[in-house]
C-alpha cells in the first residue's frame, strides 16, 4: 500500500477549510485574488535561497541569448516579484495562494515545494499589516492575541546582548553557554551569528502561548524591506513565530529601484565569493519598483500554519504527498 | 577517506569527529526563511558511548568512519577476550573488555550479537534486545503472592542482577530486556 497519501482525509478537510477561511477573509476586505507564474526567466539572488532550474525548448520566448539552445527558466521561491509588478501596474491590494519551490530544503518543517499565502495591502505600513494579520491568525489558529517585540528586545531578553551594537565577539560570548562549538566560534559573518543565536536561543522561547511578531530586523537583513526612517540600523521587516515555528515574513516594501538593484548586485557578488552561481537579476521587477505604491506585504507558510492548527509534528503529516512519496 | 556533507546526514550515518567514530541518532534541518541553514545533530560517540548535540552549517563536511557492524554468535570468554564467530564463514573475532563494556552480563553462548568494528578492531558489542537467563540466586517468594507488585532482586547465571516478581524461584528461566535491564516474563521450560 505504498501508493497511499501522507495526509489523512481529516487533514485534507482541514486544509480545505483553512483555504475557505482565507478566501472569505480577503473577500470581505475586498482584496483581489490573483495568480502569477511559477516559472520565470529571472530568479532570486538571495544567497540562502536555491532555485530549481529548468529550460524551455520550444519557440525562443526570450530576448536573452539561448543557453544550450534553450531558455533557462527558474521555479519561483515566492510570487513576490510578479505580485509587485501587478501592484505597480495599479492592481490595488492583492493576495495569492500558490505553490513555491525551494531546492535543498527538506526536513521536519521543510518540503521543497510548499504552499504560500502572500498578500499586499496598498497604503499600509508593516504595523498596520501586522494588525490585519493578527485577525487572520486568530481566525485560523483560534489562538490568543499575538504579542509583538523588536528583534533587539528579543536578544536583550533572551541573550542579554544588543544585536544592533554588539561586536561579533560580544555576540559569541553571549551565546557561549549554548555550547555550539565551532559553528559559532569559527563564524565571522555577523548575520550568520545572529541567525544561529536566534534559531537556537530565541525561537524556542518566544511565541509559545500565542504567536509573536518580531519586527525591526537588522538593516543588514532587510531583504526587500525599507530601511527604517527613524533608525537606519533596522529595516521595516517582521517575522511571525508560534510554538517554535517560523510562520511568516513581511515587509514595508522597498520602492526604490536603485536601492533594490544595489542589494541584488551585492547578493550576486557574495554568491561569487561563496562559489555559488550568480543569478539573473529580474530587471522587469527592478524597473517596476519606482511605480510601486506605498504598501506592505507578507508571505505566510500554509503547510506550517496547518501543522499548528491541527497539532501535527511533521510537515509530511499535512501534505497530500510529501516529496519522498511524490 | 570519503567525506559526508550535511545533506547526507541521517540516522545511522557513521562519521569521525575529534578522532572518535560517531553515529548519528537524529538530524534536524533548521533554516530561517531568509538566512543560513543549519543541521542540528544528536550523535553517539561509539567508543565512550556519550551522546552529544552539535550544530553544523549546511554543506559543512565530516570524514566518514571505517565502522562496520557484524552479526556474530557469542562463543566464550577466555578471561581476557570475548570470542565471537560468523556462523556462515566460521571466522572469529575477539573483543576486549573495553569493547564489551558492561554488556558482558547479557552475553549468552550462541546468541547473535552485533559487533561494531572501527578500522577492523571491535569497539562495541550489542547483545540481542531480549535474552533468556537462569535465576541462580534470589530470596524465596512469599506464599500466596502472585501479583508480584513489589518485586525482589534476582542474580542471573551471567551475574546480572534484575528486579523480578516475588513468585520467581531459583532455577527458573526468565526473559530480560537488555536495553533497560528489566524483567519481561517467565520462560516455560
Cα separation, B143 vs B120, whole angstroms? 54
Cβ-Cβ contacts under 8 Å, A46 against chain B: 34
**How far apart, in Å, are the Cα atoms of A100 and each of A18, B85, B164?**
18, 55, 58
In the Cβ-directed half-sphere of A63, how many Cα atoms lie within 13 Å?
2
The C-alpha of B94 sits at a distance from chain A's nearest C-alpha, in angstroms, of: 37
Query: What ipTM describes this predicted complex?
Result: 0.88
The CATH fold of domain B130-187: OB fold (Dihydrolipoamide Acetyltransferase, E2P) (2.40.50)
Cβ-Cβ contacts under 8 Å, A198 against chain B: 32
pLDDT at residue B150 greater than cutoff 70: yes
What CATH number belongs to B3-64? Answer: 2.30.30.30
- The structural domains of chain A, with segments of one domain joined by +, span 9-143+248-325
Bridge partner list, B42: B26, B53
H or E stretch covering A113: strand A113-122
The reply to whether residue A195 touches residue B32, judged by beta carbons under 8 angstroms, is: yes
- Is there a contact between B117 and B123 (Cβ–Cβ < 8 Å)? yes
Q: pLDDT value at position B144?
A: 59
Nearest-CB residue to A180 (from B32, B33, B55): B55
Chain A residues with a Cβ under 8 Å from any Cβ in chain B: 46, 48-49, 104-110, 179-181, 183, 187, 191-192, 195-196, 198-200, 221, 223, 239, 246, 249, 299, 301
The C-alpha of B28 sits at a distance from chain A's nearest C-alpha, in angstroms, of: 7
Q: pLDDT for B25-67, tens place per residue? A: 999 999 999 999 999 999 999 988 899 999 999 989 999 999 9
Q: pLDDT value at position B141?
A: 66
Nearest-CB residue to B29 (from A110, A181, A200): A110
Instruction: List the one residue out of A36, A155, A42 whose CA is nearest residue A88.
Output: A36
- Is there a contact between A83 and A122 (Cβ–Cβ < 8 Å)? no
pLDDT at residue B148 greater than cutoff 60: no
The reply to whether residue B55 touches residue A105, judged by beta carbons under 8 angstroms, is: no
Same fold for the pair B3-64 and B130-187: no
The CATH fold of domain A9-143+248-325: BirA Bifunctional Protein; domain 2 (3.30.930)
Q: pLDDT for A117-148, tens place per residue? A: 999 999 999 999 999 999 999 999 999 999 99
pLDDT at residue A154 greater than cutoff 60: yes
The C-alpha of B159 sits at a distance from chain A's nearest C-alpha, in angstroms, of: 40
- The structural domains of chain B, with segments of one domain joined by +, span 3-64, 67-126, 130-187
Cell of A309: 492548527
Tally of CB atoms within 10 A around B182: 11
Tally of CB atoms within 10 A around B167: 16
In this predicted structure, which of A17-26, A82-91, A140-149, B12-21 has the lowest mean pLDDT?
B12-21
Cell of A203: 525561537
Confidence of residue A114 (pLDDT cuts 50, 70, 90): very high
Chain B residues with a Cβ under 8 Å from any Cβ in chain A: 7, 28-38, 40, 53-58, 60
Nearest-CB residue to A105 (from B31, B54, B57): B31
Instruction: List the one residue out of A213, A237, A233 whose CA is nearest residue A223.
Output: A237
May I ask the CATH class of domain B67-126? mainly beta
pLDDT at residue B147 greater than cutoff 60: no
Cβ-Cβ contacts under 8 Å, B54 against chain A: 181, 183
Q: pLDDT value at position A191?
A: 96
Q: pLDDT value at position B188?
A: 81
Cell of A207: 511565541
pLDDT at residue B76 greater than cutoff 80: yes
pLDDT at residue A1 greater than cutoff 80: no
Give phi and psi for B135, each to the nearest 5.
-80, 120
Nearest CA in chain A to B28: A107
Nearest-CB residue to A110 (from B31, B35, B56): B31
The C-alpha of A46 sits at a distance from chain B's nearest C-alpha, in angstroms, of: 8
Interface test with B, best of A77, A101, A104 (most B CBs within 10 A): A104
pLDDT at residue A267 greater than cutoff 80: yes
pLDDT at residue B86 greater than cutoff 90: yes
pLDDT at residue B15 greater than cutoff 70: yes
Nearest-CB residue to B29 (from A48, A107, A246): A107
Please give the span between the terminal C-alpha atoms of chain B, in angstroms, as a whole number. 51
Average pLDDT of chain A to the nearest whole number: 96
Amino acid at each position: 500500500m505504498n501508493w497511499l497519501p501522507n495526509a489523512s482525509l481529516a487533514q485534507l478537510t482541514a486544509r480545505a477549510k483553512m483555504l475557505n477561511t482565507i478566501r472569505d477573509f480577503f473577500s470581505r476586505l475586498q482584496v483581489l485574488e490573483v495568480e502569477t507564474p511559477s516559472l520565470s526567466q529571472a530568479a532570486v539572488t538571495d544567497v540562502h535561497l536555491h532555485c530549481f532550474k529548468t529550460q524551455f525548448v520550444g519557440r525562443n520566448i526570450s530576448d536573452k541569448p539561448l543557453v544550450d539552445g534553450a531558455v533557462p527558466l527558474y521555479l519561483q521561491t515566492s510570487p513576490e516579484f510578479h505580485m509587485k509588478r501587478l501592484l505597480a501596474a495599479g492592481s490595488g491590494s492583492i493576495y495569492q495562494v500558490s505553490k513555491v519551490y525551494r531546492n535543498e530544503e527538506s526536513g521536519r518543517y521543510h518540503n521543497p515545494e510548499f504552499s504560500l499565502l502572500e498578500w499586499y495591502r496598498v497604503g499600509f505600513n508593516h504595523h498596520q499589516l501586522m494588525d490585519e494579520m493578527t485577525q487572520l491568525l486568530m481566525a485560523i489558529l483560534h489562538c490568543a492575541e499575538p504579542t509583538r517585540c523588536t528583534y533587539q528586545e528579543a536578544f536583550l531578553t533572551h541573550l542579554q546582548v544588543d544585536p544592533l551594537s554588539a561586536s561579533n565577539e560580544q555576540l559569541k560570548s553571549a551565546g557561549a553557554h549554548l555550547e555550539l562549538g565551532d559553528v559559532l566560534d569559527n563564524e565571522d559573518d555577523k548575520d550568520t551569528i545572529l541567525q544561529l543565536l536566534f534559531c537556537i536561543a530565541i525561537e524556542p522561547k518566544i511565541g509559545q502561548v500565542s504567536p509573536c511578531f518580531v519586527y525591526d530586523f537588522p538593516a543588514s537583513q532587510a531583504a526587500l524591506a525599507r530601511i527604517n526612517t527613524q533608525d537606519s540600523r533596522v529595516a521595516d521587516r517582521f517575522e511571525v513565530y508560534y510554538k517554535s515555528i517560523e510562520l511568516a515574513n513581511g515587509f514595508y516594501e522597498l520602492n526604490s529601484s536603485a536601492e533594490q538593484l544595489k542589494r541584488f548586485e551585492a547578493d550576486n557578488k557574495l554568491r561569487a565569493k561563496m562559489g555559488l552561481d550568480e543569478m539573473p537579476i529580474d530587471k522587469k521587477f527592478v524597473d517596476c519598483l519606482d511605480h510601486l505604491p506605498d504598501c506592505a506585504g507578507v508571505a505566510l507558510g500554509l503547510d506550517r500554519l496547518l501543522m499548528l492548527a491541527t497539532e501535527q509534528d511533521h510537515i509530511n503529516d499535512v501534505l497530500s504527498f510529501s516529496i519522498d512519496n511524490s | 577517506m570519503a567525506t559526508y556533507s550535511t545533506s547526507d546526514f541521517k540516522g545511522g550515518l557513521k562519521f569521525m569527529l575529534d578522532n572518535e567514530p560517531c553515529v548519528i541518532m537524529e538530524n534536524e534541518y533548521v533554516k530561517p526563511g531568509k538566512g543560513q541553514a543549519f543541521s542540528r545533530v544528536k550523535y553517539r560517540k561509539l567508543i565512550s558511548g556519550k551522546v552529544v548535540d552539535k550544530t553544523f552549517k549546511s554543506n559543512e563536511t565530516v570524514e566518514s568512519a571505517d565502522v562496520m557492524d557484524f552479526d556474530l554468535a557469542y562463543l566464550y570468554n577466555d578471561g581476557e577476550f570475548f570470542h565471537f564467530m560468523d556462523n556462515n564463514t566460521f571466522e572469529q573475532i575477539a573483543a576486549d573488555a573495553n569493547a564489551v563494556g558492561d554488556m558482558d552480563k547479557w552475553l549468552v553462548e550462541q546468541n547473535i550479537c552485533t559487533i561494531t568494528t572501527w578500522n577492523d578492531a571491535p569497539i562495541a558489542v550489542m547483545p540481542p534486545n531480549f535474552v533468556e537467563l537462569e535465576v541462580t540466586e534470589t530470596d524465596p517468594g512469599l506464599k500466596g503472592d502472585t501479583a508480584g507488585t513489589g518485586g525482589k532482586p534476582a542474580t542471573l547465571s551471567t551475574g546480572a542482577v534484575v528486579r523480578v516478581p516475588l513468585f520467581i524461584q531459583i532455577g527458573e528461566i526468565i526473559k530480560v530486556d537488555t536495553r533497560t535491564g528489566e524483567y519481561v516474563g517467565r520462560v516455560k521450560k
